[in-house]
Structure 1
Amino acid sequence: MAGGVLAVLLLMTGCTGNGEATGPTQQTPSRSAPSVSPSSTSPLAVESAPGVSLSSRPATPTSLAPGELIALNQNLIGAAWDNDVAQARQLIAAGADVNYEDETEQSAFLIAASEGYLELLDLTLRNGADVHARDSYNGTALIRAAERGHADVVRRLLETDVNVDHVNNPGWTALHEAIILGDGSPRYVETVQLLVDGGADVRLPSQRDGLTPLQHATSRGFQDIAAILRNAAEQ
């Protein structure tokens, strides 16, 4: 029974029975993109890979065998990279887990944050996304979005209880990354303003070099960002 349900779903979503998407998977060449294509990993490899997690979810409408659930989760990762919200919605409805992480510690939720896919992000949040989830850099979705200057995603995540001052392995918070890894353009200015308004500690130094966000902004000539930080520090 479950096998028949999955076969129908895979036909609807344009995927093969071994968990591979029929179309190419988009990946952004950055630190958040996985080193291998989600569709190139076999279900068995994903099942045994370190860092893979399946969070508890409510019972799905049908009973799925372990291999079928892994295939659904793999396909959800592929749909997330493609920003295919319609396919992601179908897979989630069939039982795919938005918190499932592949061998590169990517989940549909974390991918949506780093790539700036706001509609997909909302879909994952409505379906139990763990806002405290960490990537391979021990970074949160908020840090990933701030690094890319995705102000709309940052705004949405700040509506949750995500830790705005979480420090990742490089020793940076979301505010640090928006300045150190940003380019000072308007989208980064907006991102910094949102983080400051969201309670980010403007005096917290980077654990890597001991410099404050204001010192980093000043050294890079980001005058608008520096003004935001000075104003916040004086209040």
Structure 2
Amino acid sequence: MRRFSLLALAIGTAGSAIAQTAPSASDIASYAGLHLAAHEGDVDEINRLIAAGADVDIRDRSQRTPAHIAGFASHDDALTALANGGADMNALENRAYDVLTIAAVADDPELVSLAMELGNAPDQITSVYDGTALIAAAHLGHHDVVARLVEGGAPLDHVNNLAWTALIEAVVLGDGGPDHIKTVQILVDAGADKSIGDSDGISPLQHAISRGYAEMVEILK
């Protein structure tokens, strides 16, 4: 009973989490300078403003830098221009997300790879859960992103403050469908530690068995 209660509490907490939030219409209406150029993907204006001495890491009211805005808008060229202009690619906004985790949640593999190429560390701790971009992607079953992050050196066995790894999240917060099955396969093939359990010592395999996720069970055995 205690194990069920703790797990239910953790799942409920994860589901109601303060998630990353893209700029609202009112945010966008207030933008000027680099924030506006990043939102619009205007590389020429980004380069002009940086050359004129604009603060490349200026923050909006939610502590988003222009790089965050380019990430939310999926403007790869704008992000590259900002990074080339000295933007901090590991900056965190007010909900502790970086560009890499924004791209991971958006299921944007190309932006994930670009962010890492531009210096966004795949092992950075992000979100209110002290997680990583890999955990966020595994949670959502974004297997192409998971593969890119694994290739980029993301830590496979990081444990967040819910006591979950990427592998556990793919099982516990997944739906047992093809996307989460592929995610589990990628993590296991990469060497994720299948023996790490949650705060009650329940392993990913045990979670998969209890949910009737037969294909995951075969991968995790």
> Would you say same fold, with TM above 0.5?
yes
The alignment yields a C-alpha RMSD, in angstroms, of: 2.7
Equivalent residues of 1:164, 1:199 under 8 A apart: yes
Equivalent residues of 1:167, 1:173 under 8 A apart: yes
Provide Cα deviations, 1:139-198, integer angstroms capped at 9, x if missing partner.
011111100111111111111332211100001000000000000111111100110011
Q: Report the number of matched residues.
A: 183
1:123 corresponding residue in structure 2: 114
Match of 2:120, SS state, is: coil
Equivalent of 1:202 in 194, 208, 219: 194
Distance 1:91 1:224 in 2: 43
- Structure 1 runs not aligned, ≥5 long: 1-28, 44-60, 231-235
Q: Is the helix fraction higher in 1 or 2? A: 2
2:47 corresponding residue in structure 1: none
Provide Cα deviations, 1:17-41, integer angstroms capped at 9, x if missing partner.
xxxxxxxxxxxx9747335738849
Equivalent residues of 2:20, 2:102 under 8 A apart: no
Would the alpha carbon gap of residues 78 and 36 (structure 1) be closer, same or farther in structure 2, given more than 3 Å must change?
A: closer
State the identity as a percent.
39
Quick check: 1:172 aligned with 2:164? Answer: yes
Return the letter of the residue paired with 2:81: Q
Equivalent residues of 1:32, 1:114 under 8 A apart: no
Distance 2:56 2:195 in 1: 49
TM-score (norm 1): 0.69
1:33 corresponding residue in structure 2: 19
User: Which structure 2 residues correspond to residues 60-139 of structure 1 after superposition, within 5 A?
Assistant: 62=51, 64=53, 67-70=55-58, 74-135=65-126, 136-139=128-131
Would the alpha carbon gap of residues 165 and 68 (structure 1) be closer, same or farther in structure 2, given more than 3 Å must change?
A: closer
Distance 1:147 1:182 in 2: 6
My pick for the range that moved more, 69-78 or 124-133, is 69-78
